Structure 1
């Protein structure tokens, strides 16, 4: 089993709060992690997709009274949102830390329900797919992580074909089962087309009108569908950074399908050779690097991008908490470390404490006093040290 860095965060949260919510997309490894913690703590584990386990909670107060001194893990709790009200009463009757660990794949529903009932009693931990700091860095491993994405079953599949089939099944399950179970009446084929269009647009500014025309829906409806994918932690809107510098700035957010493996599955890209010759290769790499860096960035980090009409551009701007300040990052899918002219122009506008060019190699080299070129692993490890 790959040791997940987030386990420490979950354990520490259980020491602080009565309830901890571990949220993230399906198949990201939440259940495996929770079962590992449950085994260490002699916890009660209930899978609420299992009818037998749901039946045990027909009277939650009475049933859970027998487990007052143990951690109780409730997997897929968004399937039974009515439980949140009961959990509040149970927690208040015997307030102690480490009472419940709840897991949910539908983050928006989980946040809404728990926010209504467990305010001040719950801490949220967001679980991401595997990143470059969590996998064994043998030959070709990081390229495999990029091609297959960070969902453990996909990354660990026996070959590229099996990995692609797993991701294709993942997409189908979301569209045909998970989203309808949330009570959302969205045609699966329409949402699939949107998701595929977003993969083609990886890293591009959001154009709701263009997307709406392709889907034969209104622009507000297209935005609502994108909101859904964002709330399910499947898509990221990266906002622009606004500065009062007297220059015209790009104002539309950029859109990314968060997992690179899902980008490739949506576009029918099965292996590294096919990806290397595909037009999305540069944008896919950019999204891969962004997700890896944000997964290790300290809590409180504000992420954005910067672009002016004159061509000054920075792919990722991190406003870090504490004294770290602002870091500016350009991402290049090449082993060349030479930054673009737009990089230097953006640095003049942004005035970052540090600037970096992240390339596809592993070599580190200085670009100037406060600017360096390095690979994605070293950059991720640098950010991890700030956490």
Structure 2
């Protein structure tokens, strides 16, 4: 098991009178993490994928729950988004069983948020768990080994099963992609045209690091712009991709409404495009480097509760900055370069306008960026 950065934060919320909700993609270790946290507690585990569990928890009354919980001091409901009315059930448990710690996990941000937010307002702590981050990886295997594995991580990503089974990465990523990316997202969102979703994911994977146009995507996959927007939101809620919006303070020459799309995991992205070639044989190495770094920064900000906001920036004169981070009024622009010999200078217009700090991140200094 890879020790997770977020574990201490979750542990500090145990016994504080609120439910704990952990969301994230399937197979990133949510169940393993929570069971490890509860190893010294007397807990009851219920799997939302089990039809019998769904039946029991759909509309229980207080006495039903009392019989179910018994002498356990903790109730862990896995894949809670699969259970109808789970928000009301969790509210009942939280309100009526003050000495019971309730924990729920879910693999769909949309489903679990829509079912829990209103019933559990003020009654829950929310956490997100993503694939292993670089800091967790390096802490587990050491500086030297992680350095030797950088190329592989850009190609195969950070899913725990991928890391734990070297040599089987492609088979594992194929199964992960076919199961959670397509099957789960299709079933959770009730999408009627799976072939459209597949084409859209492939189109997005080929545009990592580039600005995306919903109109152009609509023409590519053969549906209207609103359907593309809806499917992209579903993929975000399913923890497949995330959006990066453009940074703007209403300066006339800035691009204000564009966005970029990135994948939470390079391995999933590479499986979608069917390319596991070595970095020296690829034309997209720079984009893989960019996707890796932005996903890692997202994990760090999320796990360490930095309250940072991240964007990209581009002017109408085609000046660009890969990542803009805003934290407590401080603006920092980051440029990502895989080639350490390439000299880079961040746009003077941006730096002076926003009194920003500028940094270039390459393989020689990336650790300071991915380990806040």
Whether TM-score is above 0.5 comes out as yes
Name the CA distance, whole Å, in 1 between partners of 2:74 and 2:248. 45
Which of 363, 367, 370 aligns to 1:377? It is 367
For 1:319, the equivalent position in structure 2 comes to: 326
Please identify, of 12-21 and 231-240, the stretch whose mean Cα deviation from structure 2 is larger.
12-21
Which of 235, 238, 244 aligns to 1:232? It is 238
Name the CA distance, whole Å, in 1 between partners of 2:349 and 2:230. 36
| 1:153-179 superposed Cα distances (whole Å, 9 cap, x missing partner) | 1222221xx212211111111355312
Once the 2 structures are TM-superposed, how far is the Cα of residue 130 of structure 1 from its aligned partner? 1.1
* Equivalent residues in 2 for 1:167-316, closer than 5 Å: 167-174=173-180, 176-249=182-255, 251-271=257-277, 273=278, 275-297=279-301, 298-316=305-323
Which of 143, 154, 160 aligns to 1:152? It is 160
| 1:343-383 superposed Cα distances (whole Å, 9 cap, x missing partner) | 4443223312x32111022xxxxxxxxxxxxx2222222x2
Which of 97, 101, 104 aligns to 1:102? It is 104
Once the 2 structures are TM-superposed, how far is the Cα of residue 310 of structure 1 from its aligned partner? 2.3
Name the CA distance, whole Å, in 2 between partners of 1:247 and 1:57. 55
Once the 2 structures are TM-superposed, how far is the Cα of residue 337 of structure 1 from its aligned partner? 6.4
- Give the gaps of 5 or more residues in structure 1: 362-374
Question: When the two structures are aligned, how many residues end up with a matched partner?
Answer: 360
Quick one: structure 1 residues 343 and 91, their matched pair in 2 at CA, closer, same or farther if it must change by over 3 Å?
same
Once the 2 structures are TM-superposed, how far is the Cα of residue 332 of structure 1 from its aligned partner? 0.8
For 1:14, the equivalent position in structure 2 comes to: 14
The yes-or-no answer on 1:339 pairing with 2:351 is: no
Quick one: structure 1 residues 183 and 249, their matched pair in 2 at CA, closer, same or farther if it must change by over 3 Å?
closer
| 1:39-91 superposed Cα distances (whole Å, 9 cap, x missing partner) | 23232111121345445547463353244661111000111032321221222
Per the alignment, in what secondary structure is the counterpart of residue 39 of structure 1? coil
Name the CA distance, whole Å, in 2 between partners of 1:142 and 1:17. 42
For 1:372, the equivalent position in structure 2 comes to: none
Q: TM-score, normalised by structure 2?
A: 0.90
Quick one: structure 1 residues 62 and 83, their matched pair in 2 at CA, closer, same or farther if it must change by over 3 Å?
farther
* Equivalent residues in 2 for 1:40-79, closer than 5 Å: 40-54=40-54, 57=57, 59=60, 61-65=62-66, 66-67=69-70, 70-79=73-82
Please identify, of 4-13 and 135-144, the stretch whose mean Cα deviation from structure 2 is larger.
135-144
Per the alignment, in what secondary structure is the counterpart of residue 182 of structure 1? helix
Name the CA distance, whole Å, in 1 between partners of 2:48 and 2:199. 31
Q: TM-score, normalised by structure 1?
A: 0.86
Quick one: structure 1 residues 268 and 81, their matched pair in 2 at CA, closer, same or farther if it must change by over 3 Å?
same
Name the CA distance, whole Å, in 1 between partners of 2:65 and 2:331. 48
Once the 2 structures are TM-superposed, how far is the Cα of residue 117 of structure 1 from its aligned partner? 1.3
Once the 2 structures are TM-superposed, how far is the Cα of residue 143 of structure 1 from its aligned partner? 2.5
Name the CA distance, whole Å, in 2 between partners of 1:105 and 1:357. 35
| 1:296-319 superposed Cα distances (whole Å, 9 cap, x missing partner) | 123421111111122432111111
8 Å CA contact retained: 2:77, 2:105: yes
- Give the gaps of 5 or more residues in structure 2: none
Higher relative contact order (Cα pairs below 8 Å, separated by 6+ residues): 2
Quick one: structure 1 residues 276 and 42, their matched pair in 2 at CA, closer, same or farther if it must change by over 3 Å?
farther
